[in-house]
Structure 1
Amino acid sequence: MRVSTPEFYQSSLSGLLNQQSTLNNLSQQLSTGNVLIDPSSNPVAYAQTLNLSARIANLNQYQQSNNYAQQNLQLSSSTLQSVSTLINQVQQLAVQMNNGTVNGNDLQNAVTAMQGNLQQLVQLANTQDANGSYIFGGSESNRPPFQLQSNGSVQYLGDSAQKTLQIGPGLSVPSSQAGNAIFMNVPAGNGTFTVVPSGSNYSASSGASSGNVGTTTLGPGAVVDAKAANDFF
């Protein structure tokens, strides 16, 4: 079979173009380090690569969220330790002032110290994380959750919800705490309890049955003179 000159040149040109295309692909693979240059070169492998890339991106996001949650947990723990230390100082000062040897100057100094302690407590309750979010504001973490009023009271501006972060498939952890549950909703008094007398500390009155010792119920403690308490503290 004889091949005409034009057909020979056309066949040779097609072969050269194919070789050139192959060389170009190899050159791109060497320069970029990627075997898959475009989806058409290997559609199945390209789809698998996209799937793996998405999974790697998710894992990286989970890792970042986990690191952020750990940092917030450590920050919350250290802040609450500082709060506990501050409250202990307040209690010690209250005990020191509860005796007959203190004078008016001592009480005034105690009031000044208490006011400073209250301001420090509000500052601790308004702690921010590395991103500027208030960790004790619940889901309202973009503004200070606690506000000190002119009359000395403290107002909570956050909510009772929590922000959460997903640190794995189906696994979430809180990234903020509801400050009202930590600082505001503190039980007052000692609760309700029942006192049952025993034979060693109780004697029946004349005419009463020896078995009728009775019970006494004490209610929650409460401040009965708010003005005196405010004047003292």
Structure 2
Amino acid sequence: MRITHRMIADTVNVNLQQSLHRLQQRSEQLSTGKSFHRPSQDPVGTNRVMRYRDSINRNECYRLNISEARGWLQATEAALMDGLDALQRIRELCIYGANGSLAEAELLSIAEEVHEFYRHLVGVGNTEYNGLYIFGGHQTGSPPYWEGAAGIEYIGDEGQRLLEISSHQEIVMNLDGLRAFGGIELMKAVSAVQEALTAGNQEALSGQALSGINEGIDLLLECLSEIGARQKRLEVMDDTLFEGDTQLKQRLSEVEDIDIALVITEYMMEEYAYRAALSTASRILQPSLVDYLS
């Protein structure tokens, strides 16, 4: 087989282009930190990267939902604690007013204090979080408790606000007013204490009125326990998602990120090979007919 200068030149050119392509690949990897940039370079790796990123994005959405639910539950817990403090003070006033040794003026003064706590409890029932009324069920755009000519009314509903915290789990992040305060029963119990104090009815203060307040305290304690259980569930779920997120990002890095030290070494080897190929090509292709004629 006859070897011509043209054949040598073509072969050298192909080899130089291949060497330059490998050098360019290593340079691109070093500049971006990624092992591949197009699906055609690694179809299997591309598929794995897409799945990992999809899982990471879903986990981030779940963790955002958990953060939202935590804020809502913390606001609910604070409101219930506020209401519990008020009820415990009303209970003390109820017992104090039932001892039978107080003058009418003193009872009226206590009744006025209880009335202020009543108004405070109505405000607790209308607590807002991020511009939404937390005890209104689905009716979060307007105050769930409204006091008109007929007395206090609950105009919310029993709607549950659900948030997805994993692919197969949801959590209820709210308590409606019917669950938290028995609708208007808690407010009616406080009103009963005020009426008994105004009327000087020691029997009611030590009996039915006090019983209503005790039931209200038990209800709020039960609701606080329920809120605490939900918060614990969110905490556990958030930890699980965080650990899963960390593992997914590690797997993603193993697939798409380069080993810097290894790629630098490969780059230097490719650069050396390319320079050597250039030097060899210049020597092989240097002789020509002009050289022989001269």
TM-score bracket for the superposition, by shorter chain length: 0.5 to 0.7
> Quick one: distance in 1 between partners of 2:62 and 2:44?
27
- Name the residue aligned to 2:54: 54
**Do the aligned residues in 1 keep the contact of 2:135 with 2:177 (CA within 8 Å)?**
yes
Is residue 171 from structure 1 mapped to residue 166 from structure 2 by the alignment? Answer: no
Change (3 A) 1:92 1:19: same
**Do the aligned residues in 1 keep the contact of 2:136 with 2:143 (CA within 8 Å)?**
yes
- Name the residue aligned to 1:232: 198
Q: Deviations over 1:148-201 (max 9, x none)?
A: 42548333333211111222221111111212222244669xxxxxxxxxxxxx
> Quick one: distance in 2 between partners of 1:100 and 1:229?
18
Number of aligned residue pairs: 194
| Aligned sequence identity (%) | 22
- Name the residue aligned to 1:18: 18
**Do the aligned residues in 2 keep the contact of 1:135 with 1:175 (CA within 8 Å)?**
no
Deviation at 1:53, TM superposition (A): 0.9
Change (3 A) 1:172 1:122: same
Deviation at 1:58, TM superposition (A): 1.7
Of 127, 146, 159 in structure 1, the residue corresponding to residue 157 of structure 2 is 159
- Name the residue aligned to 1:134: 133
- TM-score in terms of structure 1 length: 0.66
- Name the residue aligned to 2:40: 40
State the secondary structure of the residue aligned to 1:34: coil
**Do the aligned residues in 2 keep the contact of 1:125 with 1:146 (CA within 8 Å)?**
yes
**Do the aligned residues in 1 keep the contact of 2:158 with 2:176 (CA within 8 Å)?**
yes
Structure 2 unaligned residues grouped into runs of 5+: 200-294
Is residue 182 from structure 1 mapped to residue 180 from structure 2 by the alignment? Answer: yes
Bigger relative contact order (CA 8 A; separation at least 6): 2
**Do the aligned residues in 2 keep the contact of 1:146 with 1:154 (CA within 8 Å)?**
no
**Do the aligned residues in 2 keep the contact of 1:122 with 1:146 (CA within 8 Å)?**
no
Q: Look up the equivalent residue of 1:50 and give its one-letter code.
A: M
- TM-score in terms of structure 2 length: 0.54
Question: What value does the CA root-mean-square deviation take over the aligned residues?
Answer: 3.4
Q: Look up the equivalent residue of 1:136 and give its one-letter code.
A: F
Q: Deviations over 1:82-133 (max 9, x none)?
A: 21221122233234344463224651x334323321232123223344x444
> Quick one: distance in 1 between partners of 2:196 and 2:142?
26
Change (3 A) 1:45 1:89: same
